């Protein structure tokens, strides 16, 4: 309906010069040409497509999943596009949730816990510029729901503010960013629908923006970061940014200043946590975007060559490649550790106590580097725990090791300490000890703690002692009274034993404390 309004009001075809962009020609490519292996398609994505089609809607696997399938990769995520509205999609599935405001989509959830899988379903979007939005909004036949979607859809610069105007598939294709991300695959018929020669660009390994690149970056400046991310991700497969797509990147960078900081923060994490962090940093430098995208990203790029940060980036890429989970808190804790350590050392040099000095240093780093973007929520809490646990790794006697091993963030804090050891900041022996302790049984853990205690006692005995200076006897005072009665007997008893009795009581107290600490480990386990 929206498309008909726009075409009628503008009085020109979508492909007319100076009007809307060329929507392209629909091409249906058979499996004999595109060669997608259907066994690489997720069964749950097929179920979503099938359910929508059986309900009378169009539905396709879309975007990056199709791109990966065309080059023979098994996609990690599957998105589905349909002409059904979010409410209609939600009504077809038992566990489906509508999310988002600027871009409303539906998450169809399969499974539970860590094994759950989400199929993201989006409704075909209309391509809508500001002039068309105003004319459609002024038409008396436009419904209230359509008016709500159109209101402030595009700002005066052409940046899309809201993207919930539904349209046909050809308009949905043109509002996507790259040609290789604008193809639709029907797993039922095995047909690929292509409007912008995406298959051709896929075969030639070309990353090309649909339409005029400068205009597309203005519509959504985050496409600048996406261009870097795709170039880094697909460079091992030989993909390169087309010159007209790469050309406006630097000039368009200033447009990112108007993007909400929270969205830039999320895009930065995608850049660093999709398994191509080092390649993304190399792309930023190569494209002239090493600074100015986001302040915290500037710090990452600047420190990527430091051994500790480089090791963290490599470890993140490795874990993603192995299908293991990664946490942004860990990587950011590694990047900002140098700031925390310097602030901590400065406070210790001023004579402040260690723990509050570390806490104050952490708070200063959050204020200077993170700000309120993360809401000081879970991400900030996890980073704080990783940092605060570092000095506790030096304590390997008593109940401390047992309590440490039970901390929810112990594994992240230990991995952090292990990277510090690899960088030469921590003794390898200490890292090896904690590695063994974390994997040992309760009895072995207690033996390890007892051995450390014995080694420390031996070191204290062997430590050189300086000359002892005898204290001069105290001059008797006039107020001193001579001992008599029970007091004299008690004093004589203490003199006869040479002070042994108090020392024995002290040793017993120490022994009881040791036994209590030893029993705390298994109980805590």
Give the integer Cα–Cα distance in Å for 336 and 370.
Answer: 10
Instruction: Tell me the three state secondary structure of residue 450.
Output: helix
Number of C-alpha atoms within 13 angstroms, CB side, residue 204? 11
- Residue 269's Cβ-count burial label (10 Å; 0-12, 13-18, 19+) is middle
77 is catalytic: yes
Instruction: Tell me the three state secondary structure of residue 126.
Output: coil
Q: Dump the DSSP string for 134-152.
A: HHHHT-TTS-HHHHHHHTT
- Residue 271's Cβ-count burial label (10 Å; 0-12, 13-18, 19+) is buried
Give which of 127, 170, 153, 140 is closest to 27, Cα–Cα: 170
Q: Is the Cα torsion angle 222, 224, 226, 228 positive or negative in sign?
A: negative
Alpha helices by DSSP H, listed for 213-294, are 213-219, 223-234, 243-246, 249-252, 261-272, 277-286
The one catalytic residue among 7, 77, 360, 415: 77
Give which of 95, 97, 122, 92 is closest to 107, Cα–Cα: 97
Give which of 261, 270, 336 is closest to 293, Cα–Cα: 261
68 is catalytic: no
Q: Give the chain's largest Cα–Cα span.
A: 119
User: At how many degrees (to 10) do helices 354-365 and 378-388 cross?
Assistant: 140
Q: Evaluate whether 62 touches 80 at the Cβ level (below 8 Å).
A: yes
Q: Evaluate whether 410 touches 369 at the Cβ level (below 8 Å).
A: no
Q: Dump the DSSP string for 17-84.
A: TTSSPP----EEE-HHHH---GGGS-HHHHHHHHHHHHTT--EEEETHHHHHHHTT---S--EEEESS
DSSP structural state of residue 367: I
Give the integer Cα–Cα distance in Å for 432 and 422.
Answer: 11
The first and second tokens of residue 304, run together, are 């990527």
CA dihedral 88, 91, 97, 100 (to 10 degrees): 20
Q: Evaluate whether 436 touches 396 at the Cβ level (below 8 Å).
A: no
The one catalytic residue among 129, 177, 317, 339: 177
172 is catalytic: no
The first and second tokens of residue 450, run together, are 């007892």
The one catalytic residue among 42, 68, 79, 163: 79
Give which of 209, 203, 193, 227 is closest to 61, Cα–Cα: 193
**Which of the residues are catalytic?**
77, 79, 177
């Amino acid at each position: 309906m929206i498309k008909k309004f726009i075409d009628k009001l503008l009085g020109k075809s979508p492909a007319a010069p100076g009007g809307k962009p060329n929507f392209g020609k629909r091409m249906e490519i058979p499996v004999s040409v595109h060669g997608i292996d259907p066994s690489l398609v997720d069964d749950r994505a097929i179920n979503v497509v099938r359910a929508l089609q059986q309900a009378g809607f169009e539905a396709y696997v879309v975007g990056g999943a199709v791109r990966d399938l065309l080059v023979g990769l098994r996609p990690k995520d599957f998105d589905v596009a349909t002409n059904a509205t979010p409410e209609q999609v939600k009504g077809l599935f038992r566990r489906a949730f509508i999310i988002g405001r600027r871009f409303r989509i539906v998450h169809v959830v399969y499974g539970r816990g860590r094994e759950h899988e989400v199929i993201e379903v989006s409704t075909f979007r209309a391509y809508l510029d500001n002039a068309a939005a105003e004319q459609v909004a002024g038409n008396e036949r436009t419904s209230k729901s359509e008016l709500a979607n159109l209101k402030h859809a595009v700002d005066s610069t052409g940046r899309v503010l809201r993207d919930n105007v539904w349209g046909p598939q050809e308009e949905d294709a043109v509002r996507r960013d790259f040609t290789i991300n604008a193809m639709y695959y029907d797993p039922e018929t095995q047909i690929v629908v292509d409007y912008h020669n995406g298959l051709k660009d896929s075969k030639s390994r070309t990353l090309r923006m649909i339409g005029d690149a400068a205009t597309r970056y203005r519509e959504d400046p985050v496409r600048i970061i996406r261009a870097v991310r795709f170039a880094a991700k697909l460079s091992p497969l030989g993909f390169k940014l087309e010159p007209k797509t790469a050309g406006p990147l630097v000039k368009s960078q200033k447009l990112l200043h108007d993007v909400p900081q929270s969205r830039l923060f999320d895009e930065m994490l995608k850049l660093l946590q999709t398994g191509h962090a080092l390649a993304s940093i190399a792309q930023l430098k190569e494209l002239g975007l090493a600074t100015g995208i986001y302040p915290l990203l500037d710090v990452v790029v600047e420190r990527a060559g430091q051994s500790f940060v480089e090791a963290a980036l490599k470890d993140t890429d490795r874990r993603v490649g192995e299908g293991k989970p990664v946490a942004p808190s860990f990587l950011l804790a590694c990047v900002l550790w140098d700031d925390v350590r310097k602030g901590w050392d400065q406070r210790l040099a001023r004579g402040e106590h260690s723990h509050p000095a570390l806490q104050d240093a952490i708070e200063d780093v959050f204020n200077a580097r993170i700000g309120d973007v993360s809401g000081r929520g879970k991400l900030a809490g996890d980073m704080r725990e990783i940092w605060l646990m570092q000095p506790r790794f030096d304590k390997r006697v008593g109940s401390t090791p047992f309590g440490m091993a039970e901390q929810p963030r112990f594994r992240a804090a230990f991995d952090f300490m292990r990277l510090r050891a690899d960088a030469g900041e921590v003794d390898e022996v200490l890292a090896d000890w904690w590695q063994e302790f974390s994997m040992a049984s309760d009895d072995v853990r207690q033996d390890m703690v007892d051995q450390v205690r014995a080694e420390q006692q031996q070191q204290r005995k062997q430590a050189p002692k300086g000359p002892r200076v005898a204290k001069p006897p105290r001059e008797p005072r006039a107020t001193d009274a001579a001992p008599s009665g029970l007091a004299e007997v008690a004093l004589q008893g203490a003199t006869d034993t040479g002070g042994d009795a108090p020392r024995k009581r002290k040793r017993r107290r120490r022994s009881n404390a040791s036994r209590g600490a030893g029993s705390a480990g298994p109980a805590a386990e």
